[in-house]
Amino acid sequence: MTLYADSLKALTVSDLAAMKQAGEKISCLTAYDASFSALLDKAGIDIILIGDSLGMVIQGHNSTLPVTIDDMAYHSRSVAGARKRAFLITDLPFASYATPEQALANAARLMQAGAAQMVKLEGAKTEVIQFLVEQGIPVCGHLGLLPQSVNRLGGYKVQGRDEPQARQIVADAEQIEQAGASLLVLECVPAALAAEISRRLSIPVIGIGAGIDCDGQVLVLYDMLNISTGKRPRFSKDFMAEAGSIEEAVRNYHQAVKSAQFPGPEHSY
């Protein structure tokens, strides 16, 4: 049973926490414009992420690094105006949260000009997270593969395969929760590690390439519709292959997440 599927009331942080406590999976997709925002909202998607992935799928860059805070605020506002129910999370882009003060200025911009309900940032930036939360800004953490750190990581690789790295990710996840984050995204980590972190944390854990046992799942919209310019990641699935329309594909994804049928072993590490 879904708790909030038929409600047109905008979801809140408290609703997402209640979904975890009830064992209801949380569905999430990226969107960058009003048309897709309205379609995802109609299909019942719980969270819309305005991701800095727009740098690759919208702007044509080979990474997320060129994306600016102006870009994020513009696309966030475009998405916000067309949705009624879905919870909105907007990425803080590369080099926009080096200090707590810089993070606050940019997060405030995303919430005021971009109408975001929560901001997402990469890495165990606990000082920044705590500062933002103290100012009343909800925060989503992001661990595992960090696209903004692709140059430091040496490419898009699975993280946490060896024991020391896995233990560090667990420790970072716990510290992010303690700093006050309300949500955590885990990207490209072994399924067993993601399952452990999801059990340990009281906040919802949203996986992307992190196995079936996370509290929810997120994909880049263009990947699951198989219209990205680059190669579709292994952890994604082409939901258009068996659908007659984009809306049907999105609904199929939503139901596959809710019923714990996606991701399968072939989409996990």
Taking the domains of the chain in order of start, what are their residue ranges? 13-267
pLDDT at 53: 96
Question: Which position among 187, 247, 248, 266 bears the catalytic label?
Answer: 187
Long-range pairs, 74-77, Cβ under 8 A, ≥24: 74/114, 75/32, 75/33, 75/50, 75/114, 76/50, 76/110, 76/113, 76/114, 76/115, 76/116, 77/113, 77/114, 77/115
- What residue type is assigned to position 236 of the chain? S
pLDDT at 230: 79
Quickly name the fold that domain 13-267 has.
TIM Barrel (3.20.20)
Closest by Cα among 96, 90, 88, 89 to 65: 96
pTM above 0.85, yes or no: yes
pLDDT at 1: 43
Here the tokens at position 157 are: 């690789």
Distances (CA, A) of 38 to 28, 69, 89: 14, 23, 15
Could you tell me what percentage of the chain is helix, strand and coil, using 3-state DSSP and rounding each to the nearest 5?
40, 15, 45
Q: In the chain, count of helices (H) and strands (E)? A: 11, 8
pLDDT at 118: 98
pLDDT at 154: 65
One digit per residue, the tens of pLDDT, for the chain of length 269 reads 455 444 578 999 999 999 999 999 999 999 999 999 999 999 999 999 999 999 999 999 999 999 999 999 999 999 999 999 999 999 999 999 999 999 999 999 999 999 999 999 999 999 999 999 999 999 999 999 999 987 776 667 899 999 999 999 999 999 999 999 999 999 999 999 999 999 999 999 999 999 999 999 999 999 999 998 878 899 999 999 999 999 999 999 999 999 999 999 999 99
Q: Which helix (H) or strand (E) element contains residue 90?
A: strand 87-91
Closest by Cα among 266, 269, 263 to 192: 269
Question: Is 187 marked active-site?
Answer: yes
